[in-house]
Amino acid sequence: MTAGRLLIGATPLGQPSDASPRLVRALGSADVVAAEDTRRVRTLAQALEVLIAGRVVSLFDQNEASRVPALVDDIRGGATVLLVSDAGMPLISDPGYRLVSACAEQGLAVQCLPGPSAVTTALAVAGLPSERFCFEGFAPRKQSARATWLQSLAAEARTCVFFESPRRLAECLADAVEVLGADRRAVVCRELTKTHEEIVRGTLGELADWAAGGVLGEVTVVLAGATPRPDPDALVDEVNRLVEDGMRVKDACAQVISANPGAPSRRELYDAVLRSRD
């Protein structure tokens, strides 16, 4: 008997019309649909005017481990199993890892039906550097854990994407101001692709003030990477080299600072140069 396959299907974030033709076909032909919320996948299928012909089973965080053996047996027996989450790509802060891992370990076919993802959608509209980025899942719920997590991002040079509950967004942004500084840039993406989509850009300080009034809807935050801070000793050496070539200390400090984003103030660098000569 030929083994079946696991299909990982990305579902729309808000607009049903964002569903790919491959997802539509899979919903109508899969032997089993493993859904984070069975009601939501049926609602999606109705919006897409497709009849789910296969068996629909729930697969969420609390039952995934117990569901995996039976689903793997189905696939081994020749069934096509479609895995979907409530919105976006399964496994990205959503259930599915255990099932995919089990299939991979047993050499069963795993294919992805690509499509919407809140992570890449938010990154695309944020207007922040995107050639390198990291994804942090959901921000920690508790304040102490959140502060520790934010501290780990203090020197992170890559743009960072994370999810946050609208109920905790104001607290999270206020903590970010305390740990990362009010001037670091960020973008809050609310209700992506939906009717009331809102993209709010600004500094952490500005966004914390905005969120203090309360926020509703699904939230994705894009945080600008930290500006690398140059080595102070290297800056002093650079100033001294310019001075040796005939430039005044004051002018050399100004030139070095303008060429090194994140450098200290002109006064701080000037004083450091003088101290280096003591």
Pair 97, 34 in one domain: yes
**Parallel, antiparallel or unpaired: strands 80-84 and 32-35:** parallel
Domain boundary among 116, 131, 146: 116
Pair 162, 175 in one domain: yes
> By the 8 A CB rule, do 102 and 72 touch?
yes
- The side-by-side arrangement of strands in the sheet containing 32-35 is 55-58, 32-35, 80-84, 5-9, 109-113
pLDDT of residue 273: 87
Pair 132, 111 in one domain: no
Domain boundary among 178, 200, 223: 223
Domain boundary among 223, 240, 262: 223
Domain of residue 92, CATH code: 3.40.1010.10
Q: Is the pLDDT confidence value at 91 over 90?
A: yes
How far apart are alpha carbons 157 and 129 in whole angstroms?
10
Pair 131, 167 in one domain: yes
Pair 126, 101 in one domain: no
Q: What are phi and psi of 209, to 5 degrees?
A: -65, -40
Pair 80, 151 in one domain: no
Q: Is the pLDDT confidence value at 229 over 80?
A: no
Pair 23, 94 in one domain: yes
pLDDT of residue 136: 97
> By the 8 A CB rule, do 80 and 7 touch?
yes
pLDDT of residue 234: 86
Domain span at 182: 119-223
Percent of the chain with pLDDT over 90: 81
In this prediction, residue 1 has a pLDDT band, given cuts at 50, 70 and 90, of: low
Domain of residue 145, CATH code: 3.30.950.10
Pair 17, 98 in one domain: yes
In this prediction, residue 258 has a pLDDT band, given cuts at 50, 70 and 90, of: confident
Contacts of 169 (CB under 8 A, 6+ apart): 188, 211, 215, 219, 221
What totals of helices (H) and strands (E) does the chain contain, helices first?
11, 10
At residue 126, the 3 state secondary structure works out as helix
pLDDT of residue 34: 98
Q: Calculate mean pLDDT across residues 8-17.
A: 96
Q: Calculate mean pLDDT across residues 181-185.
A: 94
Per the structure, the count of domains in the chain is: 3
Pair 85, 11 in one domain: yes
**Parallel, antiparallel or unpaired: strands 133-138 and 159-164:** parallel
At residue 137, the 3 state secondary structure works out as strand
How far apart are alpha carbons 120 and 115 in whole angstroms?
10
Give me the long-range contacts of 100-108 (CB less than 8 A, separation at least 24). 100/6, 100/8, 102/68, 102/69, 102/72, 103/6, 103/72, 103/75, 106/72, 106/76, 108/3, 108/4, 108/5, 108/6, 108/72, 108/75, 108/76
Pair 11, 57 in one domain: yes
Pair 178, 214 in one domain: yes
> By the 8 A CB rule, do 208 and 170 touch?
yes
Q: Please count the other Cβ atoms lying within 10 Å of the Cβ belonging to residue 44.
A: 23
Q: Calculate mean pLDDT across residues 156-161.
A: 96
Pair 142, 87 in one domain: no
pLDDT digits (tens, 9 = 90+) for 45-87: 999 999 999 999 999 999 999 999 999 999 999 999 999 999 9
